[in-house]
Amino acid sequence: MSVGSNLDVLLVEDNPGDARLVVESLRTAAEGSFQVHHANCLNQAVERLGQMLFDVILVDLNLPDANGLEAVELLIGLSPTAAVLVLSGNEDEGLAIMALHSGAQDFLIKGLAASENLSRSIRFACERKFQRNKLAHLARIDAVTGLPNRMQFDEYLPKTLSRMERSGGTCALFYLDLNNFKPINDTMGHQAGDVLLRGVGERLSACMRRGDMVSRIGGDEFALILEGITGARGAVAAANKIGATLTKPFMLGG
């Protein structure tokens, strides 16, 4: 999600009067434009989320098929990049804190939600969510190569194994360590070492298929996950391909 001038908003509200107030408030907002899509229950909201992506979700805490923070947690799980704001007629500070701890970006009282402050609150919430998503992404990316780092690899591997177990498929796991990497850093400097690491990452990525994972898990170590590999013969063929692409010389400073 990027914070642009036009935002798609999913309003989850079963009270027609409250829904009209929110829609009218956003229709007349000065801060950009809002395309509001209305769902009058949680099940309908889930259906809408399966049809398109939303920048913002405004959700009432009292829905006919959900109560309290249940809806908030479910919607965040289904749309993790969207900024979720809670609408409530209950000025309960404890409830507001619980909503924020559940992942909501803001807690708005319905009387205030119908005011000119609503659009500004949405904009601020979107900016906070955008920055949080950006930091979360950077935390899972290796700064030198731009590849997934160990954190992302550790998340991805068990999910892949579980998926293979359910589907009856197979995958191959490769661990790759660069021999004599330390002398390059010592003699040519860490900048040259970083160039080499990026080059290795680029070559590995280029010889993989879409859906394969190439990650730098630390130092001069890389890990690869290849799905759909058929037996040991397929793994050996993939290993030979990887070896061949890394055998060619790397040029560092001439």
Distance CA 88, CA 38 (A): 17
Name the maximum alpha-carbon separation found in the chain. 72
Distance CA 192, CA 194 (A): 5
pLDDT of residue 1: 47
Angle at 213 between CA 208 and CA 217, to 5 degrees: 120
* pLDDT higher than 80, residue 149: yes
Distance CA 166, CA 106 (A): 39
Residue ranges with strand state E in the chain: 6-12, 33-39, 56-60, 62-63, 66-67, 83-88, 106-109, 171-177, 213-218, 221-227
- The model's pLDDT over 65-78, given as tens digits with 9 standing for 90+, comes to 987 788 898 998 89
pLDDT of residue 49: 92
Give yes or no for a contact between 184 and 250, defined as CB atoms under 8 angstroms apart: no
Q: Are strands 171-177 and 221-227 parallel, antiparallel or unpaired?
A: antiparallel
Give yes or no for a contact between 91 and 44, defined as CB atoms under 8 angstroms apart: no
- The model's pLDDT over 110-127, given as tens digits with 9 standing for 90+, comes to 866 555 578 888 888 888
- The model's pLDDT over 162-210, given as tens digits with 9 standing for 90+, comes to 888 888 888 999 999 999 899 998 999 989 999 999 999 999 999 888 8
- The model's pLDDT over 72-106, given as tens digits with 9 standing for 90+, comes to 989 988 988 899 999 888 788 888 898 888 888 88
Q: What is the pTM of this model?
A: 0.58
